[in-house]
Structure 1
Amino acid sequence: MSYPKDIGIVDCMLGVPEGESRSDWYDTFKPLLKDEQSREAFKMPAQYMFKDIPDTGKTDDFVAWTVDQMDRFNIQKALIGWNENDTSRRAKEKYGDRFFFDLPCNPNNGMEEVRRIKRIHAEVGLSAISVFPAGTNPQVPINHKHMFPLYVCAVELDLPILLNVGIPGPRVPMETQKVEHLDEICWFFPDLKIVMRHGAEPWQDLAVKLMLKWPNLYYSTSAFAPKHYPKAIIDYANTRGADKIIYAGYFPMGLSLDRIFSDMENVPFKDHVWPKFLRENATNLFKLGD
């Protein structure tokens, strides 16, 4: 069955452009990039992996522009990163029914970061926090002690944490994002809800084994065109993992919505998986209501 177009989709990774320049999306870890192409030529740090990165053009209101793009594909709600700037504030004030927010975090900041999470959650009402382990500077592995204050904070606030796993797209070392690191964290924090981001490749089979083992571990399809969803993930969703696999795109960072949803037609999910994948799993995990 092709994906049903009458479902109001929840996209668990979407961005609101800040303007024509994309460099501010990765300024925090740009010092980690050593090769000249990544530092000087790329619009985004994993550009070699993506064809036809969307051109967001020019507009006076990128928030409204983003909502218009969502409407074209029946995306009812989207998870976007909260930045303490005018764009995030306008997204919440003008379209609070369309956006929910995760807070990108830096585990190197210790308790200062915990206090920041709690402050912003009180002000905004966060739905999640997130960490890009290979993109922190210095890099911090998923199971490193610097991550533990963030895990404790997420449990206390009952917020899922989104973690990039697998070989990172940017040309930085991969050690911090090995999927095996999740085993210890799921064991030590049984109340912590963890969502894997960005594929888990080449350890997708291990990701499935860990989801079978740990009830608090989930997987989102961010940064992958549906054509390239790992077979192990599709098979898992169609069997025992229908409640664990969550749709996330990568627009406009690397993929266009046209590309994503033209590919989606050919994903071989079973009928009962589609509503869970496109909407219900995210609604339940992020407590979005009906």
Structure 2
Amino acid sequence: MTQPVPRAHDCLVNVHFGDTAQPEWMFRVKNEYFKKEDSIFGKWDMSQVLDEMDANGVQRAILSGNVNEPDSSAIKFVEARPDRFAITAGGFNLLRPMQALKQLESFVANHPVAAASSGPSFWGDGQYSPDNAVYFPLYTKCCELDLPLCMNTGLPGPPIPGEVQNPIYHDRVCVRFPELKLCMIHGADPWWDTAIRLMIKYPNLHLMTSAWAPKYLPASLLHYMRTRGKKKIIFASDAPVLSITRTIGEASQLDLPAEVLDDYLYGNAQRFFFDRLDAASAASEVVEADLATR
């Protein structure tokens, strides 16, 4: 039975797809994996995105961002409507850690950054698993900034090396960096049970279901969501790969108690990503108001 969806956050939307030509492997995954038309790589209109968000109860969306693309659509969206959009900070060359950390600090200082991001399969020819020391400066800086970090897990759809995205590599990460607020994104297929076991083990480890149609989520994950994982699983569409409308609609039909569904669609994202941003925004308003009275 369809349940009402009073509110949601969509924690991964790719409004940047139309900004530049996509690499060959993106067209392969579009054609062979998701069976989509070329139109998913078209330019995005912000008013249409907001209309779709409003129609589905989505209060805010987190846009995929790149520290090396200062004129991206994602930047333009968050500058125009910071009340509705936040952004991730990705695109680092972690083999040049000092440069990467300076880019991250600058990006966080100038934009409403909800999280840093990294996809182990998508850089360095997929050679660096998350427990490799090459990531340690990024983990340290995220802890210092109290900034969540999103990392791809599960075999990727594109024809690129995927073994480094086995969630088991987060085991050592969570031991070494217990303060790190870490979110595994794009599910964890075919290692769902490993991801669940790790989330039970580590309080700061979460999972986002981006790029997964909710009706295909495994029974083991849904059971975890109803039981020990009520506060651990975060909704996202990965639009336009999967639309906001489709994923919200399918999520509302999952066999979940109303309070669990609300946490999945809204509450867990609010706690994990947005409480920090809201606190920073409120503090900034107080400072501005104080300066205005002097």
TM-score, normalised by the number of residues in structure 1: 0.86
Q: Tell whether the 8 Å contact from 2:209 to 2:234 is kept in structure 1 after alignment.
A: yes
1:56 Cα deviation (Å)? 5.3
1:101 Cα deviation (Å)? 1.1
Q: Tell whether the 8 Å contact from 1:161 to 1:193 is kept in structure 2 after alignment.
A: yes
Does residue 101 in structure 1 map to residue 100 in structure 2?
no
What SS does the aligned partner of 1:167 have?
coil
Letter in 2 for 1:268: D
The residue that corresponds to 2:214 in the other structure is: 226
1:85-164 aligned at under 5 Å gives the runs 85-106=71-92, 107-139=94-126, 140-164=128-152
The residue that corresponds to 2:27 in the other structure is: 43
The residue that corresponds to 2:291 in the other structure is: none
The runs of 4+ residues in structure 1 deviating greater than 4 Å are 56-59
Equivalent-residue separation in structure 2 for 1:67 and 1:177 (angstroms): 32
Does residue 174 in structure 1 map to residue 162 in structure 2?
yes
Deviations for 1:174-233, whole angstroms, at most 9, x for unmatched residues? 221111101000011000011011111111011111100000100111000111112211
Does residue 55 in structure 1 map to residue 39 in structure 2?
yes
1:17 Cα deviation (Å)? 4.3
* Sequence identity percentage: 31
Letter in 1 for 2:104: I
Q: Tell whether the 8 Å contact from 1:17 to 1:62 is kept in structure 2 after alignment.
A: no
Q: 2:60 aligns with which of 71, 74, 77?
A: 77
Q: Tell whether the 8 Å contact from 2:10 to 2:61 is kept in structure 1 after alignment.
A: yes
Deviations for 1:78-99, whole angstroms, at most 9, x for unmatched residues? 0112242152332122211000
Equivalent-residue separation in structure 1 for 2:236 and 2:222 (angstroms): 14
The residue that corresponds to 1:213 in the other structure is: 201
What SS does the aligned partner of 1:69 have?
helix
1:148 Cα deviation (Å)? 0.7
Deviations for 1:261-280, whole angstroms, at most 9, x for unmatched residues? 34224311122201111111
The residue that corresponds to 2:267 in the other structure is: 280
What SS does the aligned partner of 1:108 have?
coil
Deviations for 1:46-97, whole angstroms, at most 9, x for unmatched residues? 54221445835977x6222322222221211001122421523321222110
**Structure 2: where are the runs of 5+ without partners?**
280-294
**Structure 1: where are the runs of 5+ without partners?**
28-37
The residue that corresponds to 2:12 in the other structure is: 13
Report the CA distance shift for 1:142/1:58 in structure 2 as closer, same or farther (over 3 A): closer
Report the CA distance shift for 1:58/1:218 in structure 2 as closer, same or farther (over 3 A): closer
The residue that corresponds to 2:287 in the other structure is: none
RMSD of equivalent CA atoms: 2.3
Q: Tell whether the 8 Å contact from 1:45 to 1:170 is kept in structure 2 after alignment.
A: yes
What SS does the aligned partner of 1:122 have?
helix
Equivalent-residue separation in structure 2 for 1:76 and 1:266 (angstroms): 20
Report the CA distance shift for 1:18/1:136 in structure 2 as closer, same or farther (over 3 A): closer
The residue that corresponds to 2:243 in the other structure is: 256
1:282 Cα deviation (Å)? 0.6
* Larger RCO (alpha carbons 8 Å, 6+ apart): 1
Equivalent-residue separation in structure 2 for 1:207 and 1:146 (angstroms): 22
Report the CA distance shift for 1:216/1:86 in structure 2 as closer, same or farther (over 3 A): closer
Equivalent-residue separation in structure 2 for 1:127 and 1:256 (angstroms): 21
Report the CA distance shift for 1:209/1:95 in structure 2 as closer, same or farther (over 3 A): same
Equivalent-residue separation in structure 1 for 2:41 and 2:160 (angstroms): 29
Does residue 244 in structure 1 map to residue 232 in structure 2?
yes
1:5 Cα deviation (Å)? 2.1
Report the CA distance shift for 1:66/1:54 in structure 2 as closer, same or farther (over 3 A): farther
Q: Tell whether the 8 Å contact from 2:78 to 2:112 is kept in structure 1 after alignment.
A: no
